[in-house]
Amino acid sequence: MTELKKIAILFGTQTGNSEDIAERISRLILRLNCKCFTSSLNDYLITRLITETLVIFVCSTTGDGDFPDNMKTFWKFLLRKNLPCDSLSQLHFCVLGMGDSSYDKFNVVAKKLNKRLLQLGATQLLPLALADDQHELGYDAVLDPWLRNLQDKLIDFYQLSGPFISEDNLLPSKFRIEFLESVSNESIIDPDFKNSEKCCATLRCNERVTSADHFQAVHLLKFAIGSDLNYQPGDVAVVWPENPVDEVEEFLSLINVPQESKFILVPRDPTIPLPKISPYPCTVRECATSYFDFLSVPRRSFFDIFYHFSKDELEKEKLKEFTTPAGQEELYSYCNRPRRNILEVLKDFPQTTPFIPFEYFFDMIPCIRSRSFSIASSLSLHPNECHLLVAVVKYKTRLLKPRKGLCSNWLSKLPVGTTIPFSTKSGSISLPKGDKPIIMVGPGTGCAPFRSFIQSRVVSGISENYLFFGCRNKAKDFFFHDEWNSLVKKNLLTLFTAFSRDQDDKIYVQHKIAENEKLMWNLIDCRGACIYVAGNAKQMPQGVRDAFLSIFQSEGGLDEKSSLRYLQSLENRKQYQSETWA
């Protein structure tokens, strides 16, 4: 029998999907009476990897083939050239990728990780699996059969004989709750757990910059920041939103716990890290405001736990159906298509929700994750300020109540003078050194990082800045038009605009690129210009890419294959960079 050690489940995630899947895998392993621990890749002590017997990796691909933030340090170490090719020869592993096939670099992170582990001598327990969010059943289309295969492989690998824990038996929660009034010794609070020291920013200006009759509100927010916050052109700002007051009250009305008493969490397994709640210790109300993301669409794992608490057979039967492979189409129709959120689901099952022990909410409801926004200003022009251009997300589904983006709506309603937790980090695009020409393609709010680029270069006296900006209407959503036009008059900016709804035929930025093909080819091939593309990832990035490929053929005389290789060489040299989002 293979020596049974604790199985490591390591995840890299940007939005929380991979973390949720990692938790589902951990519950499967616990039901096999095996031990496991779950960790983000950056929080894992990588030197332990040479001692592991089995590691399960779950990792997502973000943006245009980028690694998640909580995986970058791990990946950088794994790429070290001095690692022997047999350094992981004792390791068995499997990789599950979480991706979206609408992106060109579908699941590229999982593919790279799988390949690198094999290069270092590790042995695959299961073939690489690539889940696709575009599938009609989402990730579960790949995940369900993969989990069944994983269970069979684990039983065979460890020669397990059972009896195993049935899915009808509820596993213990990860944490115990202890309210401080009932705790005689407060020293049980983990002394190593401290609220993370976040920098802060104070809102100076919150202005809607689209016309009142435009279909979407876009706000320009200007924050005052301290000297401890620094950023470069292309960096992003990170903010931590809160749930709206009305929805917090609704959530609190559904649960039977003292709302104003402070509590602490005690892990049932000492290897489980405490969640990063701020403040901590906190009240149930504070936790509902700043930690529980109950306005997100529930994942299947939510229902894996939820049905156990039902006091009504009809409710229990329906909830349990949502946890089965056969019930996934109905679950998708109930939750994903209309974007029904956790709070609404809790309200839909009144004979189940009141009976959920409070500690299980930490297993069921994900935490509110920070949101990142491209910075739309330069410190060289706006010292001690950081500007954000935020599109307020609001849309209709078949549900009566409109769907709203948590962070964008929270930011749009912030009153001037509000101080919020705030930090900055490197973005996926960055300015070149020197004074090379730059070609920027930024329709809509995609122009935000390029405002930072242009401001920084103008202050330095660099004039060869070429911006392709697109929006629907010149009169309604032409962001920073006065600022751009002023720079055009000073010969510091060359501006190309595409207003798609201002004429019968829709005109987009890719059409404007094609109209200026001779200039583009000269700038790129003769002048070494860098190309930057930022904005919505639906069709624009591919349209822009195709426009440049066409230029390489018409002006550069390259055939189709050669133009592709030319573009790839630009990407490899960071001469073609993209920052896109869904």
The per-residue pLDDT for 5 is: 66
What is the reported pLDDT for 486?
Answer: 97
Which is it for the CA torsion 426, 430, 432, 434, positive or negative?
negative
Whole-number pLDDT of residue 134: 87
* pLDDT score for 270: 86
Two domains, one topology: 175-185+247-364 and 438-581: no
How does DSSP classify residue 440?
A: E
Any idea of the CA torsion for 357, 361, 362, 364, to the nearest 10 degrees?
130
Q: Give 410's contacts (C-beta < 8 A, 6+ positions apart).
A: 241, 242, 244
Report pLDDT for 198. Answer: 67
Nearest CA among 204, 330, 186, 177 for reference residue 258: 177
pTM of the model: 0.90
Q: Are 308 and 353 in contact (CB under 8 A)?
A: no
Neighbouring residues of 329: CB distance < 8 A, sequence distance ≥ 6: 136, 137
Q: From CA 236, how far away is CA 256, in angstroms rounded?
A: 40
Coil, strand, or helix at residue 578?
strand
The helix or strand, by DSSP H or E, that contains position 454, with its residue range, turns out to be: helix 448-459
Question: Any idea where the domains of the chain sit in the sequence?
Answer: 7-157, 175-185+247-364, 200-243+369-425, 438-581
Cβ atoms of 484 and 455 within 8 Å: the answer is: no
What's the CATH fold of domain 7-157? Rossmann fold (3.40.50)
Overall fold of domain 200-243+369-425: Elongation Factor Tu (Ef-tu); domain 3 (2.40.30)
What is the reported pLDDT for 187? 40
Q: For the domain made up of 175-185+247-364, give the CATH fold.
A: NADPH-cytochrome p450 Reductase; Chain A, domain 3 (1.20.990)
Residues of the chain with pLDDT under 70: 1-5, 181-198, 582
Report the 10 Å Cβ neighbour count for 77.
14
* Choices 3.30.70.2740, 3.40.50.80, 3.20.20.70, 3.90.1170.50: CATH for 438-581: 3.40.50.80
